[in-house]
Structure 1
Amino acid sequence: MWVRQREPYSMYKRASSRDYMNTTDMESKEFVDTLDMEDNSALLQKSMVPELSNPSWRLSLPHVLVATISSFLFGYHLGVVNEPLESISADLGFKGNALAEGLVVSTCLGGAFLGSLFSGWIADGVGRRRAFQLCALPMIIGAVMSATAKTLAGMLIGRLFVGTGMGLGPPVASLYVTEVSPSFVRGTYGSFIQIATCLGLMGALLVGIPVKEIAGWWRVCFWVSTIPAAILALAMVFCAESPHWLHKQGRTYEAEAAFEKLLGGSHVKTAMVQLNKVDSGDETDAVSLSELFYGRHFRVVFIGSTLFALQQLSGINAVFYFSSTVFKSAGVPSGLANAFIGIANISGSVVAMALMDKVGRKVLLLWSFFGMAMAMAVQVVAASSYSSGSGSLYLSVGGMLMFVLTFALGAGPVPGLLLPEIFPGRIRAKAMAVCMSVHWVINFFVGLLFLQLLENLGPQLLYSMFGTVCMMAVVFVKRNVVETKGKSLQEIEIALLPQE
């Protein structure tokens, strides 16, 4: 329960001095007044020190770590069928059926699109904490259905449920981490989402290692995922609700209690003042889809959607899909290839975490997209007639690892952090839902069309197209993205949102 803070000691002291002065002569009264004013000034300055300093990051860290479990699950379920797919198809009777095998993968992406599409309305309707629990529920149900599936239909239904939770989790995680983090570590905490996703992917690969030696091990791979999902659902009971969502609902005292849990009691007043800087008189009104596509909010929604579109059109998922083939042609086993990709991904994410609150989001985005363009140039050289033999293979492998590393430095983690920062509080959840839906649609079509484009256009032209997109992203970021490092969400909103 929130206990209202006591007024500063100096106010009580002033009252007691006034009573005392009524019993003294004028000279003593003036003397005491002078001493009292000096004392009050010193006490007032002392009481303001905690307000001017940053709150302890240790208070909000546990809440952020619990939220990133959803990102771990996201990464895990993206990679859980990679190694076991052959065993799954053999056990369920669709081995050699390319369409059925593709459906096992793509059904999950379809569910993710549905989950992300409705994530904003769910997060605004029931709150961020319950949205996490609703994210964990279909993941548990879907994982159990997949683990116990006897037919292809049972597996597909299970994957659809899992995908729904996968689509709901990332936008809610981005919202929650942005809204509960102190501004001076918000970038670092936002990087945890990308790191957790990388760890989930690597975890899926590690758990899947025995799948070829142990019959039915693929079922264990699905059962394992129910453990972190259950932890997420239970741990969220003890986490703070987003103060921004509580304030939006008119639950001011609960917002103060949440701020005390996240920032400490001495920072509650400052946090509430910042929360009230932006006019919230219309925040309880329903947000229509039309508001997101034209009018005051069009610019920020356009920036967000375009960033996610450029992220996916850069070719990152195509590189992931094609990496095993490239490494295999270079004589590198698939397991070792996946390890190299995973190390490059998590190394870039860790560096991004260290730099996010030092150099800023915009700088990381610019250099990340530029580095990806250079990596694609290396791939084009590797695919050209001027490069042949072992040199071509080394260039191809090196370019691929460079692409993944530079992606993880900025283009991977920054959009999911930056967009909740630049979206006004009133539309934040629903705008994230729209942008994540754009992400999933383009992700689906890139995965669907990549191999056909590679066959029809050839690697040189296709990689040149990806590199061109990366350079377009550099120009777009330079012209449209604002730096949000160290700024409160309210300061960012005031700077970006045109006044009516």
Structure 2
Amino acid sequence: MPCKPWSTNQLTLLTMNKGYTIFISLVVALGGFLLGFDSAVISGAVNGITTYFEMSDWELGFAVGCVIFGAMAGNISAGPLSDRFGRKKILIVTAILFTVSATWSALATGYVEFVVARIIGGVGIGGAILIAPVYIAEIAPPKLRGSLVSLNQLNIVIGISVAYFSNYFLKDIQGESWRWMLGVEAIPAFIYFLALFSVPRSPRWLIQSQNLKKAAEKILVKIGGKDYADLTLSEIERGMDKKERKGTISDLLSHRMRTIMIIALGIAFFQQITGINAIFYYAPTIFEQAGGSTDSSFLQAIVVGLTNLVFTLVAIRLIDKLGRKPLLIIGTGAMAIALSMATFAFYKATYTLTPEAISQVNSEEIRTSITSLQGNTYSSQKDLTNDLKPLLSEAQLQDFKRNEAKKFISINATLVLIAILLYVAAFAISLGPVMWTLLSEIFPGNIKGIAISVVGFFNSLVSYTVTQFFPWELSNLGPTITFAIYAVLAVLALLFVMRYVIETKGKSLEEIEELLFVN
């Protein structure tokens, strides 16, 4: 006869080995550090790789975003492979992929070679971003699960911050500094590979996929003691009693999974479509668009990384106290406000062709061609480029929009910085950590691996679209329209959260399944 599910209150009576559980979670979450580092380190290398490989806007977008193609492959394969071979083994493979990618991309001498190396790292990202939170959710007690799963997001943002610092200190290396920026990732990747051998296999996976109850019990006893192990085993078996077979992709389309898929796909869509990877991948570029120098742009990117880190810590503190849905509502609302502020700042910007600014243009041909417009002031980049079209060739116009237009801008740069920092802070307390926590919680155990792979694939596809189009948007639509689009999407994200997302705080995985699974 199935056991009655136990509550969070019962868990508080048990003696948890928090130190061991936190250690396991921290080791596994190092994959998040590599993911964050890999995502942000390319921002410092953008100018270097653009020059070395002689890229167009589309080629640059693909070189930066191609990592997401690899992530999609990792997304779609990691879940089923982890169901078959175990969470731990797949995480070890991701560590190997990170090491190979960092080394190869730093040594690449051709564009195609560079792209292939980046894609390999993307496969590691796709696997780590899905399997790490699933593993942590499966070993963590319900009372600690939100905070421990959020450690993965915390490590992501630490990785982002470290990447910005690394880029700043490596940017002045003589020669091709971008190679050092990309190659240094191999060090933490190898450390992650070694550290993973110290963590146990997932107890839930051992029971559900291998029927190894004794091995699972031994791990659970070490985590929380005998009483905790007995209660957890009873809960897992109670959930297994209701599952007649292993889930398939077709099950995700069933009526019973409708509510779960709406929540999962909606959150996965809005996490990326609101532009977070455009900010992280192109942070220095955005600040240069606001008239900043190269040095100040790199320093401002560091501030972005630190803001992300601080507010992720806030999220970890609040996610099991305030709850998932309140954080999402607060965060998406603040994101909409921040993006509107950035839109307003660029909307109010003007472009003036002063003699001093013209003299700073690198190309002598462009300088000569635009001298006839000296003294003109324009209310938008679009108006400026319209007047330049008859004077410049297509290649020269593209060069001007990408590299020279920022030299003529007059803008409230402080407002841009505040807007970006508010946006990053809002994301860090909401869509960043909460999405992965929710995904690790809402899917039934018999279909979790394949379900989270499908949703992760979709999330990566949206991310790639944003990353690929962002350089083109800045050059052709201008920053005003670009940020306005993201602001509208943030408002839609807020409305979606208020309408569809449920609260999972304090519930066991099996209790969440009962709440969401439509009969």
The interval holding the TM-score normalised by the smaller chain is 0.7 to 0.9
Query: Is the Cα contact below 8 Å between 1:278 and 1:490 reproduced in 2?
Result: yes
Q: 1:213 to 1:434 in 2, by over 3 A?
A: same
Q: 1:458 to 1:230 in 2, by over 3 A?
A: closer
Q: Which amino acid aligns with 2:207?
A: H
Q: 1:340 to 1:251 in 2, by over 3 A?
A: same
Cα deviation, 1:420-441, whole Å, max 9, x if unaligned, reads 1111111112111111111111
**Which residue is equivalent to 1:182?**
141
**Which residue is equivalent to 1:446?**
466
The range that moved more, 107-116 or 145-154, is 145-154
Q: Of residues 311, 324, 329 in structure 2, which corresponds to 1:361?
A: 324
Q: 1:495 to 1:153 in 2, by over 3 A?
A: same
The range that moved more, 254-263 or 145-154, is 145-154
Cα deviation, 1:332-384, whole Å, max 9, x if unaligned, reads 61111111211221111111111111101111011000111111222233234
Q: Using the alignment, how far apart are the partners of 1:216 and 1:160 within structure 2?
A: 21
Stretches of structure 2 lacking an aligned partner (at least 5 in a row) = 1-8, 351-378, 380-408
Q: Which amino acid aligns with 2:17?
A: S
Query: Is the Cα contact below 8 Å between 1:371 and 1:406 reproduced in 2?
Result: yes
Cα deviation, 1:135-173, whole Å, max 9, x if unaligned, reads 112222222322333433332222221111111110001
Q: Of residues 164, 167, 176 in structure 2, which corresponds to 1:205?
A: 164
Stretches of structure 1 lacking an aligned partner (at least 5 in a row) = 1-47
Q: 1:321 to 1:163 in 2, by over 3 A?
A: closer
Q: 1:205 to 1:307 in 2, by over 3 A?
A: same
Query: How far apart are 1:101 and its partner, in Å?
Result: 4.1
Matches within 5 A, 1:120-269: 120-208=79-167, 209-215=169-175, 217-249=177-209, 250-269=211-230
Cα deviation, 1:382-437, whole Å, max 9, x if unaligned, reads 23449999773332221121111111111111001111111111111211111111
Query: Is the Cα contact below 8 Å between 1:372 and 1:403 reproduced in 2?
Result: yes
**Which residue is equivalent to 2:301?**
338
Query: Is the Cα contact below 8 Å between 2:61 and 2:471 reproduced in 1?
Result: no
Query: How far apart are 1:496 and its partner, in Å?
Result: 1.4
Query: Is the Cα contact below 8 Å between 1:59 and 1:264 reproduced in 2?
Result: no
Rg (Cα) greater in structure:
1
Q: Using the alignment, how far apart are the partners of 1:404 and 1:382 within structure 2?
A: 17
**Does residue 309 in structure 1 map to residue 309 in structure 2?**
no
Cα deviation, 1:222-258, whole Å, max 9, x if unaligned, reads 4432332233233222212111111212221122122
Between the two proteins, what is the percent identity of the paired residues? 29
The range that moved more, 49-58 or 353-362, is 49-58
Query: How far apart are 1:88 and its partner, in Å?
Result: 4.9
The RMSD of aligned alpha carbons is: 2.7
What is the TM-score when the length of structure 1 is the normalising length? 0.82
Q: 1:107 to 1:448 in 2, by over 3 A?
A: closer
Q: Which amino acid aligns with 1:161?
A: I
Matches within 5 A, 1:2-17: none
**Does residue 428 in structure 1 map to residue 448 in structure 2?**
yes
Q: Using the alignment, how far apart are the partners of 1:347 and 1:51 within structure 2?
A: 28
**Does residue 493 in structure 1 map to residue 452 in structure 2?**
no
The range that moved more, 285-294 or 433-442, is 285-294
Query: Is the Cα contact below 8 Å between 2:11 and 2:143 reproduced in 1?
Result: no
Q: Using the alignment, how far apart are the partners of 2:475 and 2:205 within structure 1?
A: 49
Q: 1:49 to 1:71 in 2, by over 3 A?
A: closer
**Which residue is equivalent to 1:351?**
314
Q: Using the alignment, how far apart are the partners of 2:164 and 2:132 within structure 1?
A: 23
Q: Which amino acid aligns with 1:442?
A: V
Query: Is the Cα contact below 8 Å between 1:278 and 1:494 reproduced in 2?
Result: no
Q: Using the alignment, how far apart are the partners of 2:111 and 2:482 within structure 1?
A: 34
Q: Of residues 324, 327, 331 in structure 1, which corresponds to 2:284?
A: 324
Cα deviation, 1:151-203, whole Å, max 9, x if unaligned, reads 33332222221111111110001101111111111111122112211121222
Q: Secondary structure at the match of 1:175?
A: helix
Q: Secondary structure at the match of 2:185?
A: helix
**Does residue 415 in structure 1 map to residue 435 in structure 2?**
yes
Q: 1:391 to 1:214 in 2, by over 3 A?
A: closer
Query: Is the Cα contact below 8 Å between 2:104 and 2:114 reproduced in 1?
Result: yes
Q: 1:394 to 1:252 in 2, by over 3 A?
A: same
Q: Secondary structure at the match of 1:84?
A: helix
Q: Which amino acid aligns with 2:103?
A: V
Q: Which amino acid aligns with 1:181?
A: A
**Which residue is equivalent to 1:379?**
342
Q: Secondary structure at the match of 1:380?
A: helix
Q: Which amino acid aligns with 2:254?
A: Y
**Which residue is equivalent to 1:32?**
none
Q: Using the alignment, how far apart are the partners of 2:58 and 2:496 within structure 1?
A: 38
